[in-house]
Amino acid sequence: MDAPTLTARLTAIVPQASLEPCSDTDQPTIRVSPADVVAVLYALRDTPELGFTFLADLTAVDWWPREPRYEMVYHLASVEPPRRLRLKVPVPGADPTVPSITQIWPAADWLEREVWDLFGIVFDGHADLRRLLMPDEWDGHPLRKDYPVQVNVPVRVSEPLQVSEEQFRANIVRDRKVRQGT
């Protein structure tokens, strides 16, 4: 199934979504606006004849200084029948926000945290949007194109973590709620 066919199918299921097939050669690719991405992904996952149940990957690309600056990329796959699909979601540089898809795939949890960490794209509805790879108190988002390749950060001596028992418990309760929510 190529991109125009898939787009036609999707338009029938999600009529309000603005979809635009792209001409990528390696796999079918559809451009979706940020507002429609959740509805489109639900349709792709839950429609039996589409069957894109597998979220292979989720990432972002920074096209600085072009506008819209960011592009969210979702790689989906259907195993039976074997099919692949890529969704691209343009994200403006001024207000980089896209809806979270953690309620569709729990696998997206850490992937979205990684994108927030490295690109600074905010995932609306993500219950626990913290840095994943960089230290919590890090300044900036390293994979942005305007972030320098080498930064000199003074050596930091960590104080022992001062968390009261109540705070510690509150963190664990929060983490548990997050997981049960997804």
Partner 1 sequence: MPELRTETMTVNMGPQHPSTHGVLRIVLELDGETIVSSAATIGYLHTGIEKTTEQKKWQQVIPLVERMDYLSAQSNSYAFCLSVERLLGLDIPDRVRWIRILLVELQRINSHLVWLGTHAMEVGAVSVMLYCFRERELLLNINEMIAGFRMFPSYMRVGGLREDLPRGFHGAVTSFLDRLPGKLDEYEDLLTKNAIFLKRTKGVGVMSRDDAVRYSLSGPIGRAAGWSYDVRKAFPYGGYDTVQFDVATGTHGDVYDRYLVRVAEMRQSIGICRQMLERISPTGVFAIDDSRVTPPPKDKVYTEMEALIQHFLIYSQGFTVPAGNAYVPVEGPRGEQGFYVVSDGGNRPWRIKARSASLLACQALAPMIEGGMIADVIAVIGSIDVVMGDVDR
Radius of gyration over every alpha carbon of the chain, rounded to an integer in angstroms: 19
3-state class (DSSP) for residue 7: helix
Q: Where are the alpha helices (DSSP H) in the chain?
A: 3-13, 37-46, 108-119, 165-181
What is the CB neighbour count within 10 angstroms for residue 98? 24
Total number of residues that touch partner 1 (CB under 8 A): 41
Q: Does 125 bind partner 1 (CB under 8 A)?
A: no
Q: How far is the CB of 67 from partner 1 (least distance, A)?
A: 15
Q: How far is the CB of 133 from partner 1 (least distance, A)?
A: 4
In the list 2, 46, 57, 124, the residue contacting partner 1 (rule: CB under 8 A) is 57
Per-residue three-class SS string for 126-172: CCCCCCCCCCCCCCCCCCCCCCCCCCCCCCCCCCCCCCCHHHHHHHH
Q: How far is the CB of 36 from partner 1 (least distance, A)?
A: 21
Looking at residues 6 to 45 of the shown chain, list those that interact with partner 1 (rule: CB under 8 A): 24-27
In the list 1, 13, 39, 107, the residue contacting partner 1 (rule: CB under 8 A) is 107
Please say whether the dihedral angle defined by the alpha carbons of residues 3, 61, 116 and 112, taken in this order, is positive or negative: positive
In the list 3, 7, 69, 105, the residue contacting partner 1 (rule: CB under 8 A) is 105
Rule CB under 8 A: which residues touch partner 1?
Answer: 24-27, 53-57, 59, 61-62, 73, 75, 77, 79, 82, 84, 86, 105-107, 109-111, 114, 118, 131-135, 142-143, 149, 168, 171-172, 175-176, 179
